[in-house]
Structure 1
Amino acid sequence: MKKCGVCIGVLVLMAMFGFSASLSYAEVPKDILVVGMQAGDVVSLDPAKAYEFASSGAVKQIYDNLVDFKVGDYTEPIPELAESWEIGEDGKTWTFHIRQGVKFASGNPVNADAVVFSLQRVVKLEDTPSWVLTQWGITPDSITKIDDYTVQVVLDQKYAPGMFLSCLAYTVGSIVDPAVVMEHEQDGDMGKAWMSDHSAGSGPFILEQWNRNESIILKANENYWKGTPPFKRVIIRDINEPTNQMILLEKGDLDIAWDLLPDQIKKLRDNPDIGIYETSTLYTRYIGMNVGYEPLSKSEVRKAIRYAIDYDSIVDDIFQGAAIKTQTFIPKGMFGYNPAMPYNLDLEKAKKLLADAGYPDGFEVDLTCYPEPPAPDIAVKIQSDLAKIGIKVNVVQMVSAQLYEKYRAQQLQLVLAQWGADYWDPDANAKPFAHSTTAGPEAPIKQLAWRNKYANVETSKLVDQAAQELDKDKRAELYEQITNMILEDGPFAILLFPLKQYGVRSTVKNFIAPPSFSDYDFFTLSKE
């Protein structure tokens, strides 16, 4: 009988770990967790370089940060290696007190020297994700050791605590073992080449092997400070096709299928051996409206478009229920979320708004989208919806690279796009959606509002104010004000946030659906 490539890979892994080839993979002991996911985007497993979906998630299993988020609650950072911290009177000097007694997998102590080295290393290497730290004005000189378990970080100005702490919880905030890293330095690279496929962390797992385009194999860190990891090994199988993930999950060859689509989720719901878990994501689908295109310059026209869209049909029919209808730009589950949804399908109101704006007979406009599903289906639905109020929509499909090049150059009229926050703070969405003091080339923040030639001095000031507000309640009020203003006047029709859905074998316990792999910790699981 011919064996598939995935099955052959499974047999190879079984042989590596000493299991008999006569066993089915479903009989692998409960102290091994097998996860199927699309892991082909991994470039490096060095936390100073890792920036892709799967690499960030793998790094999460290997390293600890000063702070973290509790799985399922991303509104407030919690202590991890830093057991406490305080902000100086100037609002920009942060002092972190490091938890004592923690060791790296090597047995070396986690201390202030390790924290200073790790953060300075990110800044010095200047790799892709380094901006997450350097955006705060952090330089190597602004990270200093006060004593063996105290570190001071000075920012360029005061910022809301949640913003900075959210970034420290991201991949680049991982604390690495200086002795191990520098032992493998080559030509002044601070261990970067070696760290690509080796590890030097204090997290629950150690990188045992990365087989490119096949698997990432993690083994338990016996020195882990929170206790013995629940699995001797975690095997992350690189399985690009969601259908193959579903088949292997049904057979018991996978414990978790990470990338299932709504069609597959429906097929699995009646399987008593599989649980379905879902959660909102950080990625919003929206329509951008370029106010430089004359009809879209009028607020009444933009409102008419929002009232003409059948949001429920997009969620129920195109996404098959695997999405949350949302009309504001901060995702549900993040601090600052605004549940306001004033726009429901109302064609008469939409027609009146068009007439009030001087377009009683509608107008013609191009809607650009990329060809990957479900974008074309959404675009055709928008085309149909707007036709009912007299707006003729020409759907233009364009590969993503070309689409975003034109979008960033303000050259699209209507665009169907998506946006994902880089970290768990509302500022990550407020700046792109609501900060633009000018639509011209001198605009300080050239993100989504700017791409649609939308300038709003008032919301821009409020975004800056919210970024520096230290009082959490006052900050929440500012984001409610900002999101309401963009909801009323902005250049967007926000459609939804897709759900992330997982298939999990019933033998896996304590699974909580994460918005992304980089937000998850396999240490919290167990397996019967």
Structure 2
Amino acid sequence: MSTPQVSRRQFLGGSAALLAMMGVGGLAGCSGGNGGSGSGVATGGIELTDTFTMISVAGNDSFDPIVGTGADKVTMHSLYDNLFMFDGEGNVEPMLVDTYEQEGNVVTATLREANFSDGNPVTADDVVYSWDMLRADPSQGPYMSNYITDVEKVDDKTVKITVVRDDTSWLNILAETIYIIPNGSYDPEANDYASTPMIGSGAYVFESVDEARTVTLKANEDYWGGAPTFKTVVVQAPVDSSTSLVALQNGEVNCVSMMAQTAVETAREDANLNVVEFEAWGQQMLGVLVGDQAFRSAIFHAINTQNIVDVVTGGAATPATQFFAKKLLGEDYDGVVTFEAYDPDLAKEELAKSETDLSQTYTITASDEAGAQCAQCIQQDLSAIGINVEVESVDTNTWSSKLMDQTLQMFINALGTDMLAVDSFIQLLFGDTSVYYYPISDEMKAKVAEMNAIPSVVERHDLVVELLNDMQVECPIVPLYDTVNYDVYTAGIEGYLPSSAGTYVYYLGKLTK
């Protein structure tokens, strides 16, 4: 994810969302079950107060609404609104937009009456400025240009958006990525966005961030969508799932985002907790950013995905036989290109053709608990054919930095971009604007460019199928299994959107008790 969640989902996949393995701490003193006024008792018996405390999957290292690296989406979507938003099923509906219509490649959108937290109205100038800043950012702009080419002011409450594709994938971009900020306000040289966010129009306003990067937000009582029920929101850095589960059971926190499957069954047995299960657009996969084609092919055929599924999910998932998650493939591509990859003998034959340095120890980088377990299984599989790897577990933001610095060699992540099509995901991974650097052939890169130049999604179909088949030959990724995302929250809380577990976009101002 979400990549994302590069905490932008277009880079990280969220559903290429990334979970982080970080140290335990920061739970005490930020309890959703202690203190506050207006307390109530949830169905299961845990007291609910005016404070909602959440353990996120990423640290709040930055509040910069333009440069996504280091920004946690729980906090960002609380502070800044988008033009559109997700509903409970993951569909897109208007947010700051009131009404819109599309004619060909031109979308005309009228803004609702909404104010920033300082009381100034949200206008077309703010929308155009937010787009201009994002388009100018070297990490975000090139990807945005695959979907949107321009945003222009028509009048104070109307904007004209020029889109590239003849489908509605632009809706996802406007729900996911473009945070609306006041016209002329963005100045990263004069402001430290690591310590203080910009003004937004969201349901919450910033209060503080401590040394552990625990963020405290206060309700925006004049929010256009209505004053939030929870008057204080506390967003904590990620911890391991067992610690998170204990914190939930003790009432110290009210929600854990994307809890590891190992803790979910225990949570299901607790009457004080609700478990949300959402079929994600993501697929757990190994990305291989080093080596020649024979080396990558050897890895592709050496990995026992059934063993990984048994170890990591307890057999709950199914080994992948397609390159992207079934939910992302949709009706047009599901079942069109399939494979049975695991073949240790073939893996050894492929490795014998490789000119990659086999005396080197390569690193598999994981950024969540499930990923680390997958990596350990893969380490054994690759050792069996003569490839030495070590497993590295890092937090989300370190993973992001390594990706941007091009220092990742192999990585485990659940990649997939919610609401986007197969062709756009191929462009995201392998196109010339991609932040990934898979060592694919020039011929495959040329096909991706050719695909992207075809304006009709329907007319791209055959070339997309050809590219999916090319991926079996060049093996830049090894699909492991489709992911199901789980959120766990305190019973008695209402308004929780199931899609948040898959999109990693939360609207905390909509929660009630």
Q: State whether residues 34 and 254 of structure 1, in contact with CA within 8 Å, keep that contact through their aligned partners in structure 2.
A: yes
Letter in 2 for 1:331: A
Q: Determine which of 158, 166, 170 is the counterpart of 2:172.
A: 166
Structure 1, residues 434-454: CA drift from partner, whole Å, max 9, x if none? 55xxxxxxxx46766742557
Q: State whether residues 369 and 375 of structure 1, in contact with CA within 8 Å, keep that contact through their aligned partners in structure 2.
A: no
1:219 maps to what in 2?
A: 218
- Counting matched residue pairs gives 470
Letter in 1 for 2:451: V
Q: Distance in 2 between matches of 1:146 and 1:86?
A: 14
Q: For structure 1, which runs of at least 5 residues remain unmatched after alignment?
A: 21-25, 436-443
Q: Deviation at 1:321?
A: 4.6
Structure 1, residues 104-126: CA drift from partner, whole Å, max 9, x if none? 344432222222233234456x4
1:33 maps to what in 2?
A: 52
Structure 1, residues 144-196: CA drift from partner, whole Å, max 9, x if none? 322122223457xx33444443322234x122244xx75xx8xx659844795
Q: State whether residues 273 and 506 of structure 1, in contact with CA within 8 Å, keep that contact through their aligned partners in structure 2.
A: yes
After TM superposition, the score normalised by the length of structure 1 is 0.71
Q: Deviation at 1:421?
A: 5.1
SS at match of 1:235: strand
SS at match of 1:218: strand
SS at match of 1:73: coil
2:322 maps to what in 1?
A: 328
Matches for 1:398-437 after TM superposition, within 5 Å: 415=410, 417-418=412-413, 420=415, 424-426=419-421, 427=423, 429-431=425-427, 433=429, 435=431
Structure 1, residues 19-53: CA drift from partner, whole Å, max 9, x if none? 99xxxxx87544432212355x3233242244335
Q: Distance in 2 between matches of 1:367 and 1:309?
A: 17
Letter in 2 for 1:7: A
Q: Distance in 1 between matches of 2:135 and 2:341?
A: 49
2:156 maps to what in 1?
A: 148
Aligned pair 1:120/2:132, yes or no?
Answer: yes
Aligned pair 1:368/2:362, yes or no?
Answer: yes
Q: Distance in 2 between matches of 1:406 and 1:177?
A: 28
Aligned pair 1:43/2:29, yes or no?
Answer: no
Write 1 or 2 for the structure with the bigger share of helix.
1
Q: State whether residues 329 and 433 of structure 1, in contact with CA within 8 Å, keep that contact through their aligned partners in structure 2.
A: no
Q: Deviation at 1:256?
A: 1.0
Q: Deviation at 1:98?
A: 1.9
Matches for 1:307-318 after TM superposition, within 5 Å: 309-318=303-312
Q: Deviation at 1:397?
A: 4.8
Q: Distance in 2 between matches of 1:409 and 1:517?
A: 27
Q: State whether residues 432 and 445 of structure 1, in contact with CA within 8 Å, keep that contact through their aligned partners in structure 2.
A: yes
Give the 3 Å change call, closer, same or farther, for CA 66–459 of structure 1 in structure 2: same
Aligned pair 1:451/2:439, yes or no?
Answer: yes
SS at match of 1:42: coil
Give the 3 Å change call, closer, same or farther, for CA 106–65 of structure 1 in structure 2: same
Q: State whether residues 34 and 49 of structure 2, in contact with CA within 8 Å, keep that contact through their aligned partners in structure 1.
A: no
Matches for 1:13-92 after TM superposition, within 5 Å: 17=36, 29-39=48-58, 41-52=59-70, 54=72, 56-73=73-90, 77-86=92-101, 91=105
1:175 maps to what in 2?
A: 180
Matches for 1:237-248 after TM superposition, within 5 Å: 237-238=236-237, 240-248=239-247
Structure 1, residues 322-370: CA drift from partner, whole Å, max 9, x if none? 75643434334436574437434775xx758988x8979xx99678343
Structure 1, residues 201-227: CA drift from partner, whole Å, max 9, x if none? 333333333334253233333333334
Q: State whether residues 367 and 379 of structure 1, in contact with CA within 8 Å, keep that contact through their aligned partners in structure 2.
A: no
Identity %: 18
1:201 maps to what in 2?
A: 200
Q: What is the Cα-based RMSD across aligned positions, in Å?
A: 4.6
Q: Deviation at 1:249?
A: 0.6
2:28 maps to what in 1?
A: 7
Q: Distance in 1 between matches of 2:272 and 2:466?
A: 46
Q: State which structure, 1 or 2, has the greater radius of gyration over its C-alpha atoms.
A: 1
1:502 maps to what in 2?
A: 487
Q: For structure 2, which runs of at least 5 residues remain unmatched after alignment?
A: 1-24, 40-44
Give the 3 Å change call, closer, same or farther, for CA 358–119 of structure 1 in structure 2: closer
Give the 3 Å change call, closer, same or farther, for CA 495–256 of structure 1 in structure 2: same
Q: Distance in 1 between matches of 2:309 and 2:128?
A: 47
Where relative contact order (Cα < 8 A, 6+ residues apart) is larger, the structure is 2
